[in-house]
Amino acid sequence: MTLPEWLAGSSEEAGFLRLVLDHVSDCLVAVDTEGTIVLINEPYCRLLGGEAEEFLGRHITDVVGPQTKLHFVARGIGTHVGYPLEVRGHKLVTKQVPVHKDGRIIGAVGLALFSDYDALKKTYSRISKAELAIPSKPRAWQSKFGLDDIIGTGPVMEAHRDTLKLAAAYDLPVLICGETGAGKELAAQAIHSLSERSAGPFVWVNCASIPSELIEAELFGYEGGAFTGARSQGKPGKFELAGGGVLFLDEIGDMPLALQGSLLRVLQTGEIVRVGGTNPIGIELRIICATNKALVELVRAGRFREDLYHRLSVLPIEVPALRERDNLARFAEQLLGRIASRLSMPAPALTPEDRELLVAHRWPGNVRELENALTRMIVTGKLSIPSLDDTHLPPSAKVGSDLKSRVQSETHAVLRNALQQAGGNKRRAAEMLGISRAQLYRLLKERSSA
């Protein structure tokens, strides 16, 4: 590469300048007033697939193509900043400006501000206004918990944390399954806090708590006057509020079937249309869903779209139930300390009897139930776990208990049938039933202890 006279100083200065230009990662080219290339750096040569000597002295349009405006800029016709340019199949975003000397234009320089147009679009879409501005108050939508808030020791919880780290590393949909109270939202927030989107919002929606006639407007927003009672200026939905971050759809299994098709289209196109609106709105976010229901069974029953299920379950995560975790007593001690700290009260010590009680209980309400029990212990000084014994229940609840026995009996019959068809292979039986092996083992254990 040689330098034109108007860019050259002493030989030492010219050599240093050539070295600097060749180490610039983005493409750079300079032309004289005739549009002839007088300088081109090494990155641009690599993009063009040749050596500098092959391009120096040639007209810029012969090398780059007729779409460039650099030869016009060299004659004082305009300046182009952020000008898109495709060179040899590569989409560039360029800056083309004239070079002045002694009050006159003597050429022009073209610089690729961004050498990968697709990467630029992806990067720009992630930079939300909230990230660029200094917030005057904390954002309303943000994750409040991280991986450190998921306590517990042993192989089960270590594997769970590793799974969350893996999910955070990839910007893909996540489906979190688990029993009520097991910590599904905590897992979702941990994924968000570990991901590249951690600076963006974490917006949540409980699909089971919103009336079916309102959930579409809640998710997609609405235009002014779209329906009776709508705000005159309209309102953005949760999809728009989650732009650049994460939308957490809790209890996705309760989403109305009619709305599932709209959600699928959002995942496919990255666009929404407000209720009562006519123009699509582009959105860029990540979807994390959670459910305590067996979505496979809902798909088979026609209550959940199969195509949506496959779209959401790219990265499925099973949150272990409390009774499936290791070192339950140790987990309770850790949780006890956190609750006591939150209440600004001393944490009582667990007695051997307390530990036996903790291990013996099945914890159908999972971590939420345990947290309630430990909170009562801090307040009262004694660990007590209320029993749902029939003697303390109203007659209507006893009927429910009888119904539960019938359901358990039918469940056991289904398990026996599945195991027979699978030749005793528990993994195959679990697949046939659409449940995890852990769930199958738990149901079998319940059957044996019944």
Angle between helices 328-343 and 352-360 (to 10 degrees): 110
Q: Kind of pairing, strands 286-291 and 246-250? A: parallel
Q: CB-hemisphere CA count at 13 Å for 171? A: 12
Low-confidence ranges of the chain (pLDDT < 50): 1-3, 6, 8-9, 127-137, 389-401, 403
Query: Helix/strand/coil (H, E, C) string of 43-69?
Result: HHHHHHCCCHHHHCCCEHHHHCCCCCC
Q: Does residue 141 contact residue 242 with C-beta atoms inside 8 Å?
A: yes
CA distance 318 to 442: 14
With vertex at residue 207, the alpha carbon angle to CA 253 and CA 248, rounded to the nearest 5 degrees, is 95
Residue 132: its pLDDT value, please? 46
Record the pTM.
0.57
Task: Enumerate long-range contacts of 254-257, CB under 8 Å, 24 or more apart.
Answer: 254/207, 254/208, 254/293, 255/207, 255/215, 256/212, 256/215, 257/303, 257/304, 257/305
Residue 396: its pLDDT value, please? 43
Q: Does residue 325 contact residue 280 with C-beta atoms inside 8 Å?
A: no
24-69 tens-digit pLDDT: 657 889 999 999 999 998 888 888 888 988 999 999 999 988 888 8
230-280 tens-digit pLDDT: 566 788 999 999 999 999 999 999 999 989 999 999 999 999 999 888 888
Cα dihedral across residues 248, 253, 256, 257: positive or negative: positive
352: tokens are 């051997």
CA distance 430 to 161: 24
Residue 400: its pLDDT value, please? 46
Residue 416: its pLDDT value, please? 78
Residue 48: its pLDDT value, please? 87
158-179 tens-digit pLDDT: 999 999 999 999 999 999 999 9
The DSSP bridge partners found for residue 57 are none
Range list of β-strands (E), 172-262: 174-177, 202-206, 246-250
| Domains defined along the chain, listed by start | 11-116 (3.30.450.20), 147-318 (3.40.50.300), 322-380 (1.10.8.60), 390-449 (1.10.10)
